[in-house]
Amino acid sequence: MDLAPLLLSFQLALATTALLLAFSLPLAWWLAYTRSRLKPVIEALVGLPLVLPPTVLGFYFLVLFSPASGIGLWLDQHLGLRLIFSFGGLVAVSLLYSLPFMVHPLQAGLGSLPPSLKEAAYVLGKSPLTTLFRVLLPNMKGPLLTGIVLTFAHTVGEFGVVLMIGGSIPGRTRVASIAIYEEVEAMNYASAHAYSLILLGLSFSILLAVYTVNGGYFKRFWS
Amino acid sequence: MISFDLRKRLASAAGEMLLDAALEVPQGECIALYGESGAGKTSLLRMLAGLMKPDAGRIASGGRVWYDSSRRIWLPPQQRGLGFVFQDYALFPHLTVRQNLEFALHPKHNAALTAELLEAAGLEALQHRKPGTLSGGQQQRAALARALAQQPRILLLDEPLSALDAETRSALQGYLLDFQRKWGMTVILVSHDPAEIQRLASRVVELRQGRIVRQASPAALFQPPEKQPAAGLSAEVVSVREEGSTRFVTLRLAGQQLILELGAEEARRMLGAAE
């Protein structure tokens, strides 16, 4: 069995989770505390990937970033960045696709902390950044863990959007979920079985670990 | 010293209300904001701390302008250097009592202050415990100690001692007074409790519907002279119970219930006089 697709899946999930955590913290902060009228609009945009077929996201991404479009061409010529049929493109589209899985737990976590914690840190002279890292995040380990694990697991589980943006280039965009699909199409049930079983076992173990650590915290986000 | 003149439209339970208040508090004075809930006391405190933005007005303290709507000046809470004790204590749950104090400590202050504050608050034995494992009174002491760890020139307290039993409350009030005198701190506290105000404050500022309606010394505000009888005490008869020739008269005196055991003749004389 070729381990490359599994490895690629985990690389993709790891990169997506790390980048998304960095992007989502300021976004979740803004959503949790803003009184702007734009808030529902931004919330709706963040939540879109939850309800949209992945193919819709993939289609527009393709239209926007293919070398045939203005933006795609510009990126290619000026930055040497080609987001279609490349690992970088998979990471980019995964960031969009998994956005709500990171932002929602963080936003809910920040929102459920008493406002006086943040205010107390401010009155004690601490900057918003110090307050976030030394006061707020240490008191919302549950939501933080939930966001990280859900994003990781959701990225490993991507299929439609990966197929549209990445295709199936071995070692570059052929992730485990695509490999399974192709093995089944080629009637290599043994291979498909091996990949599937590994993903199944791994996903179950991750969720089990989080449930155990968090004591039922997940229910809020699944139901 | 701190002076302010502020206006803010507030949404209260009774509809919209305009908070409009101006006051000057000299350095070292302790004043109490008193009034019904919804009168705007907490909002006023939050605006002074920079946690709520006024609609218009001015705040100045120690020669520095904190807020001036006409000059578009607004200092964030970080730059005001005041202490604030929250109603819910706002202790950081992931830090021990000692770490909470150390978090508040100004970098150039020495660690001796932490020890002094912990000792004065009687928290030495509890310093390595997390706030969640402490009683309400202990948490309140820790919250006060943390606010004092910044050595603020001005300390704001939002009903800090309301949830405590009388004994704990009294000990904490003493603790607060000690440091107030020692450092010459200006203290502004929100309180419902006349006894607490009389112990701590030298001036009471009464708010009603967002406006300052009265300013007086606690003695003058809570014991209006016209209601004081010659003996200096007035009580209300709650009930009279007869048992043979004995009368048990229950009186309410200064918020406490008092039961007197009297002979029939005595009771008749006393209650007759009261009627």
CB atoms within 10 A of CB B134: 18
Going from the C-alpha of A33 to that of each of A39, A112, A127, B260, the distances in angstroms are: 10, 11, 15, 58
Cα–Cα distance measured from residue B149 to residue B105, given in angstroms and rounded to the nearest whole number: 5
Q: pLDDT at position B111, please?
A: 77
* A18-32, B62-76, B146-160, B237-251: the lowest-pLDDT one: B237-251
- Would you state the pLDDT for residue A131? 96
pLDDT of B67: 96
Does A126 contact B78 at a Cβ distance shorter than 8 Å?
Answer: yes
Nearest-CA distance from B222 to chain A in Å? 32
* B23 in Cβ contact with B212 (< 8 Å): yes
Nearest CA in chain B to A135: B92
Give the tokens for residue B64.
């520095």
Min CA distance, B105 vs chain A (Å)? 8
Total-model pTM: 0.81
Position B254 scores a pLDDT of 73
Contacts of A77 (CB under 8 A, 6+ apart): none
Is residue A187 over pLDDT 70? yes
Query: What is residue B14's predicted lDDT score, i.e. its pLDDT?
Result: 73
Q: How many pairs of residues across A and B have Cβ atoms under 8 Å apart? A: 51
Q: Is A137 in CB contact (< 8 Å) with chain B?
A: no
A61-107 residue pLDDT tens: 999 988 888 888 888 888 888 888 899 999 999 999 999 999 999 99
Task: For residues B141 and B161, give the distance between their C-alpha atoms in angstroms, rounded to a whole number.
Answer: 9
Band (B241; pLDDT cuts 50, 70, 90): confident
Q: Coil, helix or strand for B120?
A: helix
Distances (CA, A) of A144 to A28, A46, A88, A158, B70: 11, 17, 25, 21, 43
Provide the ipTM.
0.80
Closest-approach residue (CA) in chain A for B103: A124
Question: What per-residue confidence (pLDDT) applies to A210?
Answer: 78
Any residues with CB less than 8 A from the CB of A81 and at least 6 apart, and which?
A75, A88
Q: CA B89, B93, B98, B101 torsion: positive or negative?
A: negative
**Closest Cβ opposite residue B78 in set A125, A135, A139:** A125
Q: Using 50, 70 and 90 to split pLDDT, how confident is the model at A121?
A: very high
Residue appearing with tokens 């936003």 = A107
The minimal CB distance from B77 to the residues A114, A116, A122 is found for A122
Which tokens in the block code for residue B163? 């949830």
Q: Across all residues in chain A, what is the average pLDDT?
A: 90
Question: Which residues in chain A are contacts of B49 at CB distance < 8 A?
Answer: 119, 123
pLDDT beyond 80 at A218: no
Residues 6+ apart with CB under 8 A from A108: A143, A220
